[in-house]
A and B are shown apart, each in its own frame.
Chain A
Amino acid sequence: MDWIRILLSRCAAFIHPQKLDADLDEELLAHIELATEENRMRGMPEEEARTAALRSFGGVTQTRERYRAERGLSFLESLVGDLRYAARQLRKHPGFTVTALLTLGLGIGANAAIFTLIHATLLQDLPVPHPEELMRAGDDHRGGISWFSTQMYDQLRKNTPEFQELAAMQASSPDNSWLTLHRQGAAELPHGEVSEWVSGNYFAMMGITPAAGRLLQPADDIAGAPMVAVMSDAMWQREYARDPTIVGSAFVINTHPVTIVGIAPKQFYGDRITPYPTDLFVPLATEPLLGESDYTHHPTMQWLYILGRVKPGVALVPLQAKMRAELVPLLHQLPYYSDAPGREERIQRIRLSLTPGHSGIAVMARDMAAGLHLLMWISGFVLLIACANIANLVLARGLARDGEISVRVALGAARTRIVRQMLTESVLLSCMGGVVGVAIAYLVSAMMLRLAFPHAEFSPIRATPSPQVLGFAFGVSLLTGLLFGMAPAWATSHAQPAHALRRSNRTSSGHASLLQRSLVVLQTGLSVILLIGAGLLARSLINLQHQNFGFEVEHRVVVRLNAQNAGYTTEQLQPLYDRMRARMLSLPGVTKAGMALYAPLDGDDWGSDVVVEGQPQPGPNENVRSSWDRVSPELFDAIGQHLVRGRNILATDTAHSPGVAVVNRAFVKRFFPRGEDPIGQRFGMGARKSAADWQIVGVVENAKYQYPNEEQQPMFFLPLLQRAKSDDESMEVSTFYIGSIILVTAGPTPGLEHQVRQALGEINPNLNVNNYETLEAQISDRLNQEKLVARLTLLFGLLALALASVGLYGLTAYTVAQRGSEIGIRMALGAERGDIVRMVLQGAMLQAGLGLLIGVPVALLCGRYMQSQLFEVTRGDPEVLTAAIAALALAACAAAILPAKRAATIDAAKALRSE
């Protein structure tokens, strides 16, 4: 029990030491006086009385020390003392401090910024209660089922009580599916919004409460129920300024009456992290009416993702197996598995996995992961370089303080005490560096996000570093402090004091230690690696941007719209398209107008298995996939995709004429590998019975419709309104509705956008333009991630170069200072200033050269891991290598020149005298 009292007393004393010190001093003084008094009364003279009293007391200072040691928390006190001393030291050497802080701050800041981005895009939890209970069916990246049809979802939902709620949501990206809506009765133009079909229990599964009104319920998700929708808070704010009358008001969506029943809570952005979060949530049951096609009733259309909240304590592996078993009878219906040979085998191989769903549907994670990991490595390198810099700085300073430390040791300081003090200095410096780093991280994160997602205003991706990031930054800085504090602390404490005192300034070989030199070599090596990486990525980006896409890019505009939202039936489409075409061509500056289901690099893609008439059944492992599109007769001309053989789609290929198709070269290569003439051959989509649907009439050049950095895919092109003879209607209908108009302009045409919107609005007010962009801008958008990675790598590469230069400068300056007397001697013996400069420069370039020797081969090796990010660039690209090496050599020269010049101006006599 005593120890508690003692501890409390010590804590109290720690807080108010000054008063207690004064008390003690008074008490000791009183003691001495009383003793002196007694001595005097015994007859001693004044002087002797006092001396005797002091002698019998013993050492006053020592008493004070032992008293203090017993009194307070001595460890803490010495720590505070160390910190104060360290702070004073840092203030006294501003050059060192600022350099060190900047270096550390940039290194740590870069890391924290990358970590913020990674956390925001890959690791962030959905803003719902208990996100760890959410499980997603599918997407373990190993080929399990991830897309489900409505029937499959219903089956799972009804038979899996292990889920509290099992919800479904559309798989295609919501910002590719816009619904046109306007408020009924209001003077409001119809506008398109990002929308998403979700099941009735979606919000119940999420477990959130509405900001206003109510959220969707299972009763809304029944065919024939009155149509309702939920608006996002962002849209409520943006379009209607949080007008409370919106809740419960009647809207018109795609010409159908829909009631807005409520607003989703403010921080809710949907089920996936995307720069364009969902603004309108509509029940699955409305899809046949509001949607592009009736996916709901089509048994093979796998258009849903499944996300559910499991009940606590449920075992996942048996649940997976159970769900898979529930699906097997439905799988037999899919055409892929219904064509005879190998069917059972293929079905056996189907897997279903449950993956963690706490961050929802991780689409962005999938797309961005590779790039972000690369950036993480790069910022790690930068941090290493920064640490090496700091280590060198501290080492140099430590060695300069040799004399001071030796004196301390000679005066009786314990070695551990000195080491502790130096460690404290390092840790203080790195903690301050951490703070600077976090500040830089805040700034850089915002900039990086704007680089990554240039168009997103209401993005759920936040730019502010989270507690994890801050913790990470401080952890890194603390570790750095401990690491680079160790070396000098350890080295100095083991120095023999007399040795050091005798040694100061008398060395003739003032070379920096091996450690210092290796650190600089390490820095240069790492910088070279980064520069080469940056160069390769920059080159790759340029290649991506200027590749031959297979179509023309200049003077082209893409107008994205959704004709189905305007309520046209399929019979009305032909005259509509004719009218649209004429109207577009009548606009000033427009020379050509083509229409398509989707334009190149729209972000859309339709694919299908292909069955060629007369060819044998493909094996189970053969790739019979092809992308396809619908195009108007003018489209190829409009985008500049060249016809190679046969004929184009013509105006005479109508809904009532025989089915024709134009294919690209890659299609010919995949499906007619033995060189047969494709013209005249027939093929179909999906099952064998449709093999005669389409007759090939022409071949076009390959063009990139899907991804700029992928190989050319086989593609076939159908006329806008032709229907496959064999296929059932429901699937085909949505593809009759064009999604894009491509306009070719004669030159720059300001104001064209407004004219286009107006022209379409005149034809039908519901013909809403969802997006209007030049083709160049559209392509640029597709390359956002590559641009981000390339730019950041270049930034980090330059940062690394700057840091390495600082390091080299520091080392050279230090060496020159150490060799002061040597240089003096040389000059006295007749060396020219130029000789001195050359000598110093040689030393510095040697370091840089060693770094290059090590760095370049390592860079070539590492290039292997980066290859997936590179487009048409080999990792040993000679131009990039030369540029990187030249940049480094130049920087090294610049860094070493200043101290070299200073060395040449050393006054020989002064140098020799200052010992």
Chain B
Amino acid sequence: MGDAKSDVLHGTLDLMVLKTLESMGSLHGYAVARRIEQVSDHTVIMNQGTIYPALLRLLQRKWIKAEWGVSESGRRAKFYSLTKLGRQKIAIETENWERVATTMARFLAPST
């Protein structure tokens, strides 16, 4: 549980959660974690528990909201969905991320 790793992971994990909620609508925590695992084709192997601090961070910023509901199997669970603010932030965050990726790619490309 290195602290350094989680710093980098913070930003990426938060964005993954946001995108997941954007495409899937309202999900409970477990579903979000499973979905991330699937979408990343299981390259993201994470302790599912780490999803909750990420969800909390997004909640604090009011980018997502939460309410208790009932799952398909009849179990009581907390469901998260995007807020209007969150939708706006996705576009900004995506842009930021793409800019970083492009810059890094330039550096990491073999020099000619």
Tell me if B8 is interfacial: C-beta within 8 Å of chain A. no
The CA of A26 and the CA of B77, in the complex, are separated in Å by: 8
| B30 x A31 contact (CB < 8 A) | yes
Whole-angstrom distance from the CB of A412 to the nearest CB of chain B? Answer: 13
| A58 x B71 contact (CB < 8 A) | no
CB neighbours of A28 from chain B (8 A): 49, 52
| A6 x B61 contact (CB < 8 A) | yes
| A27 x B78 contact (CB < 8 A) | yes
Binds B, one of A62-70, A289-297, A322-330: A62-70
The CA of A27 and the CA of B33, in the complex, are separated in Å by: 13
CB neighbours of A10 from chain B (8 A): 60
Chain B contact residue count (CB 8 A cutoff) = 26
Whole-angstrom distance from the CB of B65 to the nearest CB of chain A? Answer: 12
Whole-angstrom distance from the CB of A510 to the nearest CB of chain B? Answer: 43
| A30 x B76 contact (CB < 8 A) | yes
The CA of A23 and the CA of B57, in the complex, are separated in Å by: 16
CB neighbours of B31 from chain A (8 A): 34
Tell me if B88 is interfacial: C-beta within 8 Å of chain A. no
| B61 x A57 contact (CB < 8 A) | no
The CA of A2 and the CA of B85, in the complex, are separated in Å by: 11
| A63 x B50 contact (CB < 8 A) | yes
The CA of A33 and the CA of B29, in the complex, are separated in Å by: 12
| A57 x B48 contact (CB < 8 A) | yes
The CA of A31 and the CA of B55, in the complex, are separated in Å by: 14
Tell me if A24 is interfacial: C-beta within 8 Å of chain B. yes
| A5 x B62 contact (CB < 8 A) | yes
Tell me if A162 is interfacial: C-beta within 8 Å of chain B. no
The CA of A67 and the CA of B57, in the complex, are separated in Å by: 9
Given contacts A6-B61, A67-B52, A70-B56, are A59 and B47 in contact (CB under 8 A)?
Answer: yes
| B52 x A24 contact (CB < 8 A) | yes
Please report which residues of chain B, range 37-63, place their CB below 8 angstroms from some CB of chain A when the two chains form the complex. 46-50, 52-53, 56-57, 59-62
Tell me if A44 is interfacial: C-beta within 8 Å of chain B. no
Tell me if A9 is interfacial: C-beta within 8 Å of chain B. yes
CB neighbours of A59 from chain B (8 A): 47, 49
CB neighbours of A63 from chain B (8 A): 47, 49-50, 52-53
Whole-angstrom distance from the CB of B63 to the nearest CB of chain A? Answer: 9
From B46, which residue of chain A is reached at the shortest CB distance? A58
CB neighbours of B28 from chain A (8 A): 30-31, 34
| A33 x B75 contact (CB < 8 A) | yes
Task: Map CB proximity to B onto A4-41 as digits: 1 under 8 Å, 0 otherwise.
Answer: 01100110000000000001101110110111011000
Tell me if A60 is interfacial: C-beta within 8 Å of chain B. yes
From A69, which residue of chain B is reached at the shortest CB distance? B53
| A60 x B71 contact (CB < 8 A) | no
The CA of A26 and the CA of B28, in the complex, are separated in Å by: 13
Whole-angstrom distance from the CB of A40 to the nearest CB of chain B? Answer: 11
Whole-angstrom distance from the CB of A465 to the nearest CB of chain B? Answer: 45
The CA of A62 and the CA of B56, in the complex, are separated in Å by: 15
Tell me if A71 is interfacial: C-beta within 8 Å of chain B. yes
CB neighbours of B100 from chain A (8 A): none
Tell me if A657 is interfacial: C-beta within 8 Å of chain B. no
The CA of A33 and the CA of B50, in the complex, are separated in Å by: 17
Given contacts A57-B49, A62-B1, are A34 and B56 in contact (CB under 8 A)?
Answer: no
- Can you show 14 pairs from A to B with CB atoms below 8 A apart? A5-B62, A6-B60, A24-B52, A31-B77, A34-B30, A37-B75, A56-B48, A57-B49, A58-B46, A58-B50, A59-B47, A63-B49, A67-B52, A67-B53
Given contacts A5-B62, A26-B76, A70-B57, 10 further A-B contacts (CB under 8 A): A9-B59, A24-B52, A27-B52, A30-B76, A57-B47, A58-B48, A63-B50, A63-B53, A70-B56, A71-B56
7 cross-chain pairs, A with B, having the tightest CB-CB distances, nearest first: A58-B47, A63-B49, A58-B49, A34-B30, A9-B60, A30-B77, A31-B30
Q: Chain A residues in contact with chain B, CB under 8 A?
A: 2, 5-6, 9-10, 23-24, 26-28, 30-31, 33-35, 37-38, 56-60, 62-63, 66-67, 70-71
